[in-house]
A and B are shown apart, each in its own frame.
Chain A
């Protein structure tokens, strides 16, 4: 696989973007973060709605995700604002250790005056945009890329064309030394056996099976039957005959190479190859699991169209549905209608898609970036005080 042009970092994975990030780590300061971002060109804004009251696992995941946003490979500099000094310091400290430009501003240090905070943050962020704009991309191996794999608003073309196509691209990247993460644990149900056969060893196989079983029992506890009525009547009319077939269509995104391990929500994969993230399926939460894991980009398949993208990872949208490809031209980075009409092989389309992926990794903007459809949504796990 050809190299891409990216931003080398002092430590860790290189970036495919060089964001100046305005990051609000407490719900109280998120409106201020949006004001600061509106006042500047060339910044990215993220903010949480939460802070005190988060408990246990939720608290750990939430704070870990905020630190991961600040240290994301695609972030060159970050202005951390918040109303909770220890959290601001923790997040800013993590970004500084990762070699990012960083400024930490708390409401406490501004006499609890949000306009003073806004002014300080605006000046800091303007300085970061100025400095980061002087940095240049350099040639880097495709092996440095980590992809998050997602599907949303699927239709029968997804399992047949777009997802297998993503799988073929993942095979090519993994063979070149790169890495990919798939999640959406509910879609492993029914495909446990093929997933287990792809597991690197028996321990990984058992963890895959256990994660699917846990998700199935979570659904049962909530009164939802995921297997008895799956495929649904609509699925059956569309040609799906079994839950195995439906789930295999979804996990086809992961390609054919061995699954190296199962990682928790937002956890960074410890090496190259294909990794399974035990995570919720809804696209905003799922994508944030991949972005906080440090993914460079997301590959996002859709059947009827889906405009949502990650704020930090350029999100390559693709479809295999010819009607969708004609309808949402300013949403899709790649379309594989020719595979659906039998005029192009999956392999030929995968080669074309690798070129498109490397072009976007090297700086070509996605529609989602141009339109500003990006956000991040940290998943929630339990009760709150």
Chain B
């Protein structure tokens, strides 16, 4: 493994986490996959590894951490502006 700039924690994950501040246009190489970034991804923030339809479960650790609230392109920033906690939704929180 040679200096990957993002970490995918489980094979099923559709997001990876930036291991440093990444800029638009950079190519993130993961095992068996490369993704060109559409925008800036700050350290420890998530990037989409595939095109995601609205309402798709976001998988990290191989587990759902919420659902997309908009269409997300591969290489885009995934955060509170385009995903929402299913748990918070169920309990009426944020």
Contacts and interface: CB of A to CB of B under 8 A. Distances in A.
A and B associate in one complex: yes
Interface of A: 156-157, 160-161, 164, 190-191, 193-194, 227-229, 236, 238-239, 241-245, 248-249, 252, 339-346, 348
A271 B81 CA distance: 45
Contact of B61 (A161, A190, A243, A252): A252
A182 to B, nearest CB: 14
B20, B46, B83, B87, most chain A CB atoms within 10 A? B87
A244 B86 contact: yes
A239 B44 contact: yes
Given A239-B44, A241-B85, A243-B88, A227 B93 contact: yes
Interface residues of B, number: 36
Given A340-B19, A341-B19, A241 B80 contact: yes
A343 B2 contact: yes
B9 A239 contact: no
Given A194-B63, A241-B85, 8 more contacts: A227-B93, A228-B93, A239-B45, A239-B46, A241-B65, A244-B85, A245-B60, A342-B19
A272 B60 CA distance: 28
A243 B60 contact: no
A160 B2 CA distance: 18
A249 B61 CA distance: 8
Nearest to A249: B61
B3 interface: yes
A346 B19 CA distance: 14
B14 interface: no
Contacts of A191: 63
A344 B1 contact: yes
Nearest to A225: B93
A241 B17 CA distance: 12
Contact of A242 (B4, B45, B66): B66
B1 A164 contact: no
B17 A160 contact: yes
A160 B3 contact: no
Contacts of B42: 239
Interface string B1-23: 11111110100000001111000
Contacts of A239: 17-18, 42-46, 79
Contacts of B17: 160, 239
Interface string B52-67: 0000001011011110
B80 A236 contact: yes
B49 interface: no
A342 B4 contact: yes
